[in-house]
Amino acid sequence: MQDEKQNGLLIVNYHYIRDARQYRYPGIYPLERDAFVGQVRWLLSRFKPLSTEEIEAFVHGETALHEPGLCFTFDDGLGEHGWAAREVLEPLGVKAVFSVSSKPLIEEKGLMVHKIHWLRANTEPEKFRKEFMSLVPKEWLRRAEEENIANAAAQSYPYDSRGFASLKYMINFQLPNRIVDDIASEMLRARKVSESSFCRDYYLSKSEIAELCSKGHTIGNHGHSHTPFSRLSEGDLEREISDSLSFFSQLTGKEQTWVSYPHGRQWAIPADAEAFCRRFGFKIGLGLDGGWNKREGSPYLLNRINENDLKKLFI
């Protein structure tokens, strides 16, 4: 680690920063606000935060670093990221990168992944499983049986019951995003939660995003609907990116040149990250595999460490 740190760049990524006690059941695993503040102070006491221009020059091999560099990133445009910027980062003079999906802002519809998190965190697990399965279209239930997903599911989720492992497997690997999204919307409706109020509670507003940008933070692309880019057809990928690019350039007056790949792992990222970035004009691509970034790495697939790994590794 010491050698890597010498001239490397550490990028830290945050998702939920909120009070875990507001949720009765598992589904959301947030970092508490105090822990976030502790991590920020700890990181700043050791590493030098870099501007986006300095990072671009370093990862494109144009400059070297003389001390370990640091970058804070926040994915998904969650409401609490506005708090993190205003109350924690800005008083310390730190700028960060906020990667936001455009669907909640354009359509006032929640992202599938967050609706599922929220429903799980507020529903007794077995009730959630039964309710979800009752809404899966019959042909997909049949296909799950034919493909015998129960075994694959048990291998992927060894700590869950067979029923719950199959449910997770269907949500994450088998069912098309569109179907899971429809089921999650139906479950929200059953709880009398409208998508627009869900969005108001969960996400940054347009004016908050414009304000972040005007304060010198970077608004990164995170797709329109948060569907893994690797799972989209050519046409859908084109729409997914160009819709979000034009929305954010109108909102902020700036072209987006950073992208954070939704889900961030190898399976979710376009096979040729460099070709993807060049096609859409991105200078930087952010993944979610942990570790330091070196000058000779690819700028189109940078490593990031998440809040929980950081907790384990350093604090």
Which pair of tokens denotes residue 48?
Answer: 């030098």
CB 50 within 8 A of CB 66: no
Q: Which is nearer to Zn ion, 112 or 119 (CB)?
A: 112
CB of 36 to Zn ion, least distance (A): 17
* Smallest gap from residue 262 Cβ to Zn ion (A): 5
Contact between 80 and Zn ion by CB under 5 A: the answer reads: no
75 versus 240: smaller Cβ distance to Zn ion:
75
Looking at the DSSP bridge assignments, the partners of residue 302 are 286
- Report yes or no: 214 and 105 within 8 Å, Cβ to Cβ: no
At 271, list the tokens: 């096979």
201-218: burial string, b at 16+ Cβ within 10 Å, e else: ebbbeeebbbbbbeeebb
Tokens, residue 72: 């804070």
Least separation in angstroms between residue 33's CB and Zn ion is 20
Closer to Zn ion by CB, 65 or 116: give it: 116
Please tell me the distance from the alpha carbon of residue 114 to that of residue 45, in angstroms, as a whole number. 33
Residues 220 and 225: their CA atoms lie apart, in Å, by 14
Q: Given the rule CB under 5 A, which of 68-76, 114-122, 177-185, 230-238 is the region that contacts Zn ion?
A: 68-76
Does residue number 75 form part of the binding site for Zn ion (CB under 5 A)? yes
Closer to Zn ion by CB, 49 or 262: give it: 262
- One-letter amino acid of 184: A
* Cα 68-69-71 angle, rounded to 5 deg: 150
Q: Which one among 31, 76, 89, 285 touches Zn ion, defined by CB under 5 A?
A: 76
Q: Which of residues 156-195 bind Zn ion (CB under 5 A)?
A: none
Q: Is 307 an interacting residue with respect to Zn ion (CB under 5 A)?
A: no
Considering only residues 244 to 283 of the shown chain, the ones binding Zn ion according to CB under 5 A are 262
Q: Which is nearer to Zn ion, 193 or 288 (CB)?
A: 288
Closer of 10 and 286 to Zn ion (Cβ) = 286
Q: Which is nearer to Zn ion, 100 or 277 (CB)?
A: 100
Least Å from the CB of residue 254 to Zn ion: 21
Write down how long the chain is.
315
Size of residue set near Zn ion by CB under 5 A: 3
Span from 34-42, 67-75, 168-176, 269-277 in contact with Zn ion (CB under 5 A): 67-75
SS3 assignment for 275-308: HHHHHHCCCEEECCCCCCECCCCCCCCECCEEHH
Binding site for Zn ion (CB under 5 A): 75-76, 262
